[in-house]
């Protein structure tokens, strides 16, 4: 990061190569649409370059700082896209369940279960909900989550265990 702060494009290229895959996973936790997530990563890295002098290693590791920027870009992109997007005829197949195979009831059950899961996640302490979301929606390992959040891996595992236990209890009570 020192080279990047000195304005070295080569150092920035190395930094990008080293962190782009994780950045894409972070962006895709927010927006599963690959091209929008890729755009968010690109915008995020441009923002990192522009604000490179704002990074302070004494405050925390680069990866946590950078992934927060990427995540915010992805959230902004997703919100702006969601606010203006209305399904067009080409989108209808993904929005309306296929009734020919008798899956209307399955789709309704899946939607209900998904809503219950989202509601349960919101009731968890934020630290526990965050690690669960990164693991299941972001498909990150415990060590990747620990690196991203600048936490010991044991802390991540503990939060995951407690959060999943609470989720299980909430879902059982709701059933």
pLDDT at 174: 67
Three-state DSSP class for 172?
Answer: helix
pLDDT at 20: 92
3-state secondary structure 51-67: CHHHCCCCCCCHHHHHH
Q: HSE (CB half, 13 Å, CA atoms) of 98?
A: 4
The ranges of the chain with pLDDT < 70 are: 81-118, 137-139, 174-175
pLDDT at 16: 92
* Residues 25 and 139 sit within 8 Å (Cβ to Cβ): yes
pLDDT at 126: 83
Give the contacts of 174 (CB within 8 A, at least 6 positions apart): 116, 120
Dump pLDDT digits (tens) for 66-94.
888 898 888 887 777 655 543 333 333 33
* Residues 136 and 101 sit within 8 Å (Cβ to Cβ): no
Domains of the chain, start order: 1-84 (1.10.1740.10), 104-175 (1.10.10.10)
C-alpha triplet 74, 160, 75: angle, nearest 5°? 10
- pTM of this structure: 0.47
Give how far the C-alpha of residue 72 lies from the chain's centroid of Cα atoms, to the nearest Å.
Answer: 10
pLDDT at 18: 92
């Amino acid at each position: 990061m020192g080279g990047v702060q000195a304005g070295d494009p080569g150092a920035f290229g190395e930094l990008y190569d080293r962190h782009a895959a994780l950045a894409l996973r972070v962006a895709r936790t927010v927006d599963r649409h690959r091209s929008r997530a890729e755009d968010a990563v690109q915008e995020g890295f441009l923002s990192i370059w522009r604000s490179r002098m704002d990074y302070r290693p004494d405050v925390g590791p680069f990866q946590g700082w950078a992934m927060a920027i990427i995540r915010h870009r992805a959230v902004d992109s997703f919100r702006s896209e969601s606010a203006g997007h209305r399904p067009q005829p080409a989108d209808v197949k993904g929005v309306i369940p296929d009734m020919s195979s008798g899956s209307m009831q399955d789709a309704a059950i899946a939607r209900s279960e998904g809503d219950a899961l989202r509601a349960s996640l919101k009731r968890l302490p934020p630290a526990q909900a965050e690690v669960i979301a990164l693991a299941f929606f972001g498909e990150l390992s415990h060590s990747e989550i620990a690196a991203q959040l600048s936490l010991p891996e044991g802390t991540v595992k503990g939060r995951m265990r407690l959060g999943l236990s609470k989720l299980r209890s909430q879902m059982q009570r709701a059933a």
